[in-house]
Amino acid sequence: MSKSERNQRNVIIVYADDLGFGDLSCYGSHQISTPNLDRLCAEGLKFTNAYSTSAVCTPSRYSILTGRYPFRNSRAHILPGDAGCIISPELDTMPKLFQRAGYHTGIVGKWHLGLGDGSHPIDWNQEINLTPVDLGFDESFIFPATADRVPCVYVEGRKVVNLDPDDPIEVSYEEECPFDDIPTYHKNPEMLEMRSSHGHDMSIVGGIGRIGYMRGGSKAVWKDEDLAETFLSRALRFINDSQNTEQPFFLYYALHQPHVPRVPSARFRGATALGPRGDVIAELDWCVGQLIEELRRLDILDDTMIIFSSDNGPVLDDGYVDRAYELNGTHRAAGPLRGGKYSKFDGGTRIPFIVSCPNLVRRGESGALISQADLFASFAHMLDMPLEPESAVDSQDMYAALIGEDPVGREELMVEDVTCGKMLRRGNWAYLSPSEGAPFMGNVRIETGLSMDPQLYNMDYDIGQQTNVAWDYENVVKDMEERIQRIVRSEGTR
């Protein structure tokens, strides 16, 4: 029996960072051209009601890998670069599921779920005792947190790449810089190649102000313009290595684009009229194109399931002066949605979601309601692998929706904004539970959707969430609020 007959298709999740619902040409952008993703979309299924579980990174990534809502983990918030790993090695994960099914598993790219078991501060010069290789990934080539957080190094398996014992790496997230011999934002402005608009004013690494302080490791520090090609070449290497095994593969390819700081490789500088943010989206699209080309060359494209999505919605100015606002023109990064990254409005969590597998998945568009947390249980179905009751407790089997056989998907799903406030989507209703906080984040210029008033929007007629009809549908509001409270108290909804 061939691998595909046993449903053992290769699976690749390509996970962009901060890419909005309107950022791709196949999702309506006229200003940014993404021909490779457009082709993937044309040959696959384009979802219009798919959500991440959070409007920021760490919690969404926690959910996609564990099938659990972020509120179940009190540490699932944007992590500093020296945080301990928030996924305990005992917890079941999606890559472990693939391992159990006999797959060769790998991660390449952004991690941002913490490293080390947290029992002591990480010594970046030694082997790290808890990394993706302990959580189900046979191979791991990552950067620890985000491109704007130190340490700006790659970690392969358990070790920082290109360690030099004569130049040890030290990292600090204290407010005051504990290292007096390193360049910092306020002390050495002459070294800056990109200015910050807010934050990002601690260490200067590669001419860019970062979050956190870092000393040493000069041979290990990445070059920002090389990140895309480095990760891409590692992803291709993983796929090629997998061909030498008898196993199918699962690859989680977590792109770093278009998160700040946006530094495209030379060939994409000026690729769009939108400045660096547009250019790195063009670069991201090229990376996906290269990946697809390699699968075609290896003659495995038709039986490889590719899922392309993003961890949260878009932001233009996320802390660096890269003219994202000024050059944005008429581009709408969140498409017709209100808000963006951080937000409780749909712009925060409704994201592009494309599924392609020419020999399996129907082509077209799907309005099925689906959460990224559902991938876990859906793959368990595909692989015909049972799940323990305590595994992936918020993951629903949406396999039929993923391959285009079920146009409806979930009855309801829940998401969180940056403050962990909740939104429940059920059918055409989006209910934003009251929570504290400013309605507008001035520094990033995004509407948060935070309000002490309940908000209810009819997504069929009001995709831009302009008309709050909560007062007209008090019963719906009451019911949806109670439902949120029940989910939050429950052990899971699978």
Question: Contact positions toward ligand NG6, by CB under 6 A?
Answer: 17-18, 56-57, 78, 112, 146, 148, 198-200, 211, 259-260, 312, 318-319
Q: How many residues does the chain have?
A: 494
101, amino acid identity: A
Cα–Cα distance for residue pair 142/124, rounded to 1 Å: 14
Give which of Ca ion, ligand NG6, none residue 367 binds (C-beta under 5 to 8 Å, depending on kind). none
26, amino acid identity: C
Give which of Ca ion, ligand NG6, none residue 184 binds (C-beta under 5 to 8 Å, depending on kind). none
224 sits near Ca ion (criterion: CB under 5 A): no
For Cα atoms 395, 401, 403, give the angle at the middle one, nearest 5 degrees. Answer: 115
89 vs 189 by CB, closer to ligand NG6: 189
What minimum distance in Å lies between the beta carbon of 382 and ligand NG6? 29
Q: For residues 31-60, which are near Ca ion according to CB under 5 A? A: 57
What minimum distance in Å lies between the beta carbon of 199 and ligand NG6? 3
What minimum distance in Å lies between the beta carbon of 90 and ligand NG6? 26
3-state secondary structure of 13: strand
Give which of ligand NG6, Ca ion, none residue 148 binds (C-beta under 5 to 8 Å, depending on kind). ligand NG6
Cα–Cα distance for residue pair 209/7, rounded to 1 Å: 47
For Cα atoms 477, 483, 487, give the angle at the middle one, nearest 5 degrees. Answer: 150
18 sits near Ca ion (criterion: CB under 5 A): yes
Give me 292's structure tokens. Answer: 């697809």
Residue 231, H or E segment: helix 227-243
- The single residue among 11, 14, 17, 131 that binds Ca ion, judged by CB under 5 A, is 17
199 vs 464 by CB, closer to ligand NG6: 199
What minimum distance in Å lies between the beta carbon of 126 and ligand NG6? 26
What minimum distance in Å lies between the beta carbon of 149 and ligand NG6? 7
What minimum distance in Å lies between the beta carbon of 262 and ligand NG6? 11
Closest CA to 253 of 313, 310, 298, 318: 310
Give residue 423's region: left, alpha or beta (phi > 0; psi -120 to 50): beta
Q: 11 pairs with which residues across the strands?
A: 250, 305
Cα–Cα distance for residue pair 324/321, rounded to 1 Å: 8
138 vs 447 by CB, closer to Ca ion: 447
What minimum distance in Å lies between the beta carbon of 485 and ligand NG6? 26
Q: Indicate the residue whose CB is closest to Ca ion.
A: 57
Cα–Cα distance for residue pair 366/407, rounded to 1 Å: 6
Residue 364, H or E segment: strand 364-366
What is the three-state SS of 250-274?
Answer: EEEEECCCCCCCCCCCHHHCCCCCC
Give me 57's structure tokens. Answer: 């990174």
Contact 169, 160 (CB under 8 A): yes
248 vs 275 by CB, closer to ligand NG6: 275
Cα–Cα distance for residue pair 124/54, rounded to 1 Å: 29
Q: Indicate the residue whose CB is closest to ligand NG6.
A: 199
Residues in the interface with Ca ion (CB under 5 A) total 5
- 380 Cβ contact partners less than 8 Å away, ≥ 6 residues apart: 97, 386, 387, 392, 397
82 sits near Ca ion (criterion: CB under 5 A): no
45 vs 334 by CB, closer to Ca ion: 334
Cα–Cα distance for residue pair 466/337, rounded to 1 Å: 10
17 vs 412 by CB, closer to Ca ion: 17
Stretch touching Ca ion by CB under 5 A, among 13-21, 385-393, 399-407, 429-437: 13-21
325 vs 461 by CB, closer to ligand NG6: 325
What minimum distance in Å lies between the beta carbon of 299 and Ca ion? 34
146 vs 304 by CB, closer to ligand NG6: 146
Contact 487, 464 (CB under 8 A): no
Q: Binding mask 293-312 vs Ca ion (x if CB under 5 A, - otherwise)? A: ------------------xx
What minimum distance in Å lies between the beta carbon of 69 and ligand NG6? 17
139 vs 318 by CB, closer to ligand NG6: 318
Give which of ligand NG6, Ca ion, none residue 133 binds (C-beta under 5 to 8 Å, depending on kind). none
322 vs 412 by CB, closer to ligand NG6: 322
- DSSP letter for 363, please: P
How far, CA to CA in Å, does 283 sit from each of 16, 33, 212, 264, 278? 12, 11, 27, 7, 9
Residues near Ca ion, by CB under 5 A: 17-18, 57, 311-312
